[in-house]
Structure 1
Amino acid sequence: MAAAFLVVALVSIRQDRRRFRNAVLLGLAVACLILALLGDIDRLPPETAAVVVFFVLLAPLFAVFVLAVFLLANGITMIRRESRSLGNLLSFLAGLGLLTLVVLLITAQYTQHPAIGAVAVSALAAVSYLSFLFCCYLGYAFLYSRLRARPGVDFVIVLGSRIIDGRIPPLLASRLDKAITLYRNERDRGGDPFVIASGGQGPDETQPEAHAMADYLLAHGVPADKLLREDRSTTTAQNLTLSRELMQHHRPGYRCVVVTNNFHAFRAAILARTAKVNGQVVGAPTALYYWPSATIREFAAVIMEHRLVNLSVTGLLAVTGFLAALP
């Protein structure tokens, strides 16, 4: 089964590396491999078997506790350095949720109370499903970020993000610097690409993001005649759809590369596929303290894009676990 899932995953990646199902198929391959190894554990010497059981069963429980503490600490850092928005609180809330689950499981084991045990099993079933999907997302997002876009593109699209008092913040500057590097590399290879600054004006912004981004690009050597502005979008999906219209107008049959931050690259790639944009997505570096909350936010957005399936499975597992644990 592990080999079968791996083969299907590789075929799917070859067809289009921007699918979320690629992440799930690779995750299923790894899960089946682990189950297969556990099924043959009786063939190992007792000492080796004990070590395997520890790392497969006990180490993850310890890792959950360590991860919860890390997420809580990161959440406090986000509160100190960033605004107290829901998106910036996600790492703190995730850490609090994991710690609550650990306490609930320990309490159920200690008290042996049927109702507490049923709630604990129900929560564990739901969290296990979401954790599996998150591990799939995280692993494939890391892999996707290592897959380089092929050279020979006609457009380099920079996805916008919030500007502060008309200035380019570090998060957006890293995207623009990455786009400038890609543009220069294409020119050095003999190409003649355009750069598209994509971003509209938010309610707390003094001008469209595309205009501030264009000023930055011009100041760093991108020629004005090779710079296009898409200044109407307010979401990533609109960034990509409206940029596609620009590309089709200037060069039908185009190929492009989309630039965003590394935590956003895989979800942007999924959205690019949905918007029928002919190109891959690359990620620019992000401050380490910002990465956990941003990654959780991106994962939550992917889950909510398939909310009917994921919420149904999560609810079904939670109810099944609760009923199964009742005496």
Structure 2
Amino acid sequence: MILLLIGVLLLGVFALRFRGDRRRLGNGVFLLLGLVFVWVGLAADDSETALGLLAGVLIVLSPLLVLVLAGLLIVNGVQVVRREGPRVANLLSFGLGVALLLPYALLIVAVATGSEWFAFAVISVLVAVSYLSFLLVAFLLYSFVYGRAAYHPGMSAIVVHGSGLAGDRVPPLLAGRLDKALDVYRAEVAAGRHPLLVTSGGKGSDEAVSEAAAMARYLTERGVPADALLLEDRSTTTRENLEYTRDLLAARGLAGPMVLVTSNFHILRTAILARRLGLDAEAVGSRTAFYYLPSAALREFVGVLVEHRWTHGLACLACLALPAVVLLLVRLMPA
């Protein structure tokens, strides 16, 4: 009963935070913790059983989920390489899957050699891996929830983020973003509003024109008037997309609100970054080929970790130190 109440409280905190500002990864942490506690509270008949079940989730189920995740990542990595070629970005899911298996292999070695300190060192790594795995699950869960939350209409600007060109042509991934932006734009126009459509993306070394120009051409060919378009053609990263677009809109006296249109795997990190930059903006996403999603979502997760590297770095250090501290305390305790 106590765990059930804790779970309901955590879900209540999630609801309040979501209503206040949905662009925070912490919302996903509260949501996942709340669901786990509610599930354990409902599954157990008494407090003792509930605590045992919760311990089982943390001690047994968590590593098992990591192993299952590792297997899925390896399979997906092979599939992506077959379809897209052996580029570094396409090897991410395969490499991470192998990396997740490595600590368990080392733990088997430690047990076989009987080295207590080596075993605790490996367990320390596994605790840190479990922490990152929990964050990954929270990120994926909340990305799903955030992607299905409707944005509030009445935007002053609709910003489409670039994703690369094929020469001077718009490839399918970017076309999906532009088509989603068109849907949003047409809905706004039908409601009597006339937002600016901002195409955001610079020119890569292997591209014939800037992404912004190619996207603008794609939109005008589909009926968007030229005076409704604004080109941001300098950016090379998501942060620059947002910063340069903010400056262009500010020069026109527009500070928001705006909706950021990108691929569904990219929306949460884009929204989190927009919040950090102080933008009045929400993100919506276009669909992506299913086989491509795991690798793309992992890149987004890594990007979020990098944005908050000090927080998660300190948390990982604490996880690495925890088993050794416990072992030391046990050794110092009187018999």
Scaled by the length of structure 1, the TM-score of the pair is 0.88
Which of 108, 122, 125 is equivalent to 2:124?
Answer: 122
1:25 corresponds in structure 2 to 30
Unaligned ranges ≥5, structure 1 = none
Instruction: State whether structure 2 residue 272 is matched by structure 1 residue 267.
Output: no
Tell me the secondary structure at the aligned position of residue 136 of structure 1. Answer: helix
Partner of 1:163: 165
Matches within 5 A, 1:49-60: 58-60=60-62
Give the AA of the match of 1:181.
Answer: D
1:68 aligned residue (67, 70, 76): 70
Instruction: Determine the structure 2 residue equivalent to 1:15.
Output: 20
CA distance in 2: counterparts of 1:57 and 1:2, whole angstroms: 19
Q: Deviations over 1:154-187 (max 9, x none)?
A: 2111001111211111111110110111111111
CA distance in 2, matches of 1:198, 1:50: 52
Alignment of 1:174-189 (within 5 A): 174-189=176-191
Q: Which residue of 89, 92, 96 corresponds with 1:90?
A: 92
AA matched with 1:283 = G
Partner of 1:320: 322
Q: Give the superposition deviation at 1:321.
A: 2.1
Q: Which moved more, 1:148-157 or 1:34-43?
A: 34-43
For 1:225, what is the secondary structure of its paired residue?
helix
Write the mapping of 1:215-294 to structure 2, written as runs, cut at 5 A: 215-252=217-254, 254-294=256-296
What is the CA distance between 1:323 and its match in structure 2?
Answer: 5.1
Partner deviation per Cα, 1:269-295 (whole Å, 9 max, x = no partner) = 011112222221001111111111111
Deviation of the 1:223 alpha carbon? 1.3
Measure, in 2, the Cα distance between the counterparts of 1:295 and 1:50: 33
SS of 2:279 mapped into structure 1: coil
Confirm or deny: 8 A CA contact 1:121 1:322 kept in the other structure. Answer: no
Aligned residues: CA RMSD: 2.8
Displacement, 1:112?
4.2
Question: Using the alignment, how far apart are the partners of 2:17 and 2:37 within structure 1?
Answer: 18
**Bigger Cα displacement from structure 2, 237-246 vs 60-69:** 60-69
Q: Output the CA distance in 2 between the equivalents of 1:101 and 1:33.
A: 31
Q: Which residue of 1 aligns with 2:81?
A: 79
Q: Which amino acid aligns with 2:17?
A: S
Distance 1:247 1:261 in 2: 22
Corresponding residue for residue 2 of structure 1:
7
Q: CA deviation at 1:325?
A: 5.0
Aligned residue among 104, 113, 118 for 2:115:
113
Alignment of 1:141-220 (within 5 A): 141-220=143-222
Q: Is the 8 A contact 2:40 2:53 kept in 1?
A: no
Which residue does 2:298 correspond to in 1?
A: 296
CA positional deviation for 1:26 = 2.4
Q: Which deviates more from structure 2 when the two are superposed, residues 259-268 or residues 52-61?
A: 52-61
- 1:153, distance to aligned residue in structure 2 (A): 1.6
| Structure 2 residues not aligned, in runs of 5+ | 1-5
| Distance in 2 separating the partners of 1:148 and 1:72 | 34
Change (3 A) 1:262 1:167: same
Deviations 1:105-156 (A, max 9, x none): 4444555432442232112111011111111111111110010111222211
Distance (whole Å) between structure 2 residues aligned to residue 179 and residue 253 of structure 1 = 19
Deviation at 1:210, TM superposition (A): 0.2
The code of the aligned residue for 2:143 comes to A
Between the aligned partners of 2:62 and 2:127, the Cα distance in structure 1 is 15
Letter in 1 for 2:91: L
Q: Are the counterparts in 1 of residues 246 and 255 from structure 2 also a CA contact under 8 Å?
A: no
Aligned partner of 2:165: which letter?
Answer: I
Seen in structure 2, the aligned counterparts of structure 1 residues 288 and 50 have a Cα distance that, compared at 3 Å, is same
Give the distance between the partners of 1:205 and 1:84, measured in 2 at CA: 21
Alpha-carbon spacing, 1:4–1:42, altered in 2? closer, same or farther (3 Å): closer
SS at match of 1:191: coil
Measure the CA separation in 1 of the matches of 2:40 and 2:54. Answer: 12
TM-score by length of 2: 0.86
Distance 2:269 2:153 in 1: 22
What secondary structure, in the 3-state scheme, does the structure 1 residue paired with 2:236 have?
A: coil
**1:270, 1:194 → 2: CA distance?**
22
Contact 2:263–2:288 (CA under 8 A) maintained in structure 1: yes
| Number of aligned residues | 323
